[in-house]
Amino acid sequence: MDNQRRQFLDELLETATPSGFETAGQRLWIEYVEEFVDEVRTDEYGNAVAVVEGGEPSVALTGHGDEIGFMVRDIEDDGMLRMTAIGGSDRTVSKGQHVRVHTSDGVVPGVVGQAAIHLRDADDESIDDIDEQHVDIGAADADEAAELVERGDPITFDQTVSELANDRIAARGLDNRIGIWAAAEALRRATARDLEATIYAVSTVQEEVGLQGAKMVGFDLDPDAVVAVDVTHATDAPGTPSARKTGVELGAGPVVVRGSANHPRLVDAIRDVADAADIDVQLQASGNRTGTDADAFYTSRGGIPSANIGVPNRYMHTPVEVLDLDDLDAVADLLAEFAAVAHEHEFSVNVR
């Protein structure tokens, strides 16, 4: 990954985009893709679609631009803020963290309070729910706090990108700014080829609260096929229950998901492309649902052939998600190669 692509990735990861508040990240993504596409359009909720025009079929490469987070639910008399979750925030990792409250006037720093170990009941190992936790912004009382923040202001962890060994990084919200990076970068790489198909790169909103943006885009865009890029659990870290292990490993390449939303002919086409391009991939079983935008795309309109490509990720929905940059780079290569030969494939199932 060269410096320009890495800078784009870091900028995405350092921009707060909790579900429902994705505007800053969407603008950043649009600025990047505008340099090499024919058109970028957005809808009323901020979904962004970039297109390189060609012939048939039309294929969308997608990621979701939102991240999990919190929101100011109430302001207590003592100036403390009460929170509610945005998406699947984890109550076990929020206490004792630095946070940023994103207001119309800028960022207000705070911390999620945690009683000192000396003061806690040694026999009580219970963990407060998020709506019982509080943010301390240093305000003396409710009036002072209300001058700084409002109910409904989003909150994210104050955490930047950390460099780990072996070309791996840790950050909050890799889920799923890395997906929109891959979609954009795959389209940029594909434009170096003579594309015959029409290829879209898409950054959806509000995936973490019910795949809402994908529902909008799937209906409006109605492409012939969709490949949704999202993180998937690397189950090679200590602490993963044996019954939840999938064989997916960090650093072993993109994950091609099979079953449920994943259209068998689209999956076969992607695997064929990986073989031809000598890109190592991992396989993952999805018996019921993928938990990604693919679940919304494949039931849009009369059904859109869809597939989910995963980027292995450790510690999902924590402030310290970890991925291998080689995996992410390989996803962009795989999608670019697929876009270049999409016109050679049909994506209907022959059942007669």
Check whether 349 has a pLDDT greater than 90: no
Q: How many residues does the chain have?
A: 352
CA proximity to 173, closest of 190, 148, 154, 188 = 154
Confidence of residue 124 (pLDDT cuts 50, 70, 90): confident
Residue in the block written with tokens 């002072």: 144
Between CA 236 and CA 224 the distance in angstroms is 35
Query: Could you read off the pLDDT of 13-67 as tens digits, one per residue?
Result: 999 999 999 999 999 999 999 999 999 999 999 999 999 999 999 999 999 999 9
Between CA 179 and CA 9 the distance in angstroms is 10
Confidence of residue 348 (pLDDT cuts 50, 70, 90): confident
pLDDT number for residue 351: 62
Is the omega angle on the peptide bond into residue 176 within 30 degrees of 0, that is, cis? yes
CB-CB neighbours of 225 under 10 Å? 25
Check whether 352 has a pLDDT greater than 60: no
Between CA 149 and CA 278 the distance in angstroms is 52
Q: What is the C-alpha radius of gyration for the chain, rounded to an integer number of angstroms?
A: 21
User: Does residue 207 carry a catalytic annotation?
Assistant: yes
230 a known binding residue? yes
Average pLDDT value for residue range 320-326 = 98
Among the listed residues 207, 249, 321, 344, the single catalytic one is 207
Query: Could you read off the pLDDT of 183-212 as tens digits, one per residue?
Result: 999 999 999 988 999 999 999 999 999 999
Sequence-ordered strand ranges (E) for 189-318: 197-204, 225-233, 255-258, 282-285, 306-313
Confidence of residue 102 (pLDDT cuts 50, 70, 90): very high
208 a known binding residue? yes
Token output for 72: 């100011």
Between CA 318 and CA 28 the distance in angstroms is 24
64 a known binding residue? yes
Q: Please give the single-letter amino acid code of residue 106.
A: G
Query: Could you read off the pLDDT of 210-257 as tens digits, one per residue?
Result: 999 999 999 999 999 999 999 999 999 998 999 999 999 999 999 999
Between CA 57 and CA 310 the distance in angstroms is 23
Check whether 121 has a pLDDT greater than 90: no
CA proximity to 233, closest of 121, 322, 352 = 322
67 a known binding residue? no
For the chain, domains (ranges, CATH) are 3-67+172-344 (3.40.630.10), 69-157 (2.40.30.40)
Percent over 90 (pLDDT), the chain: 92
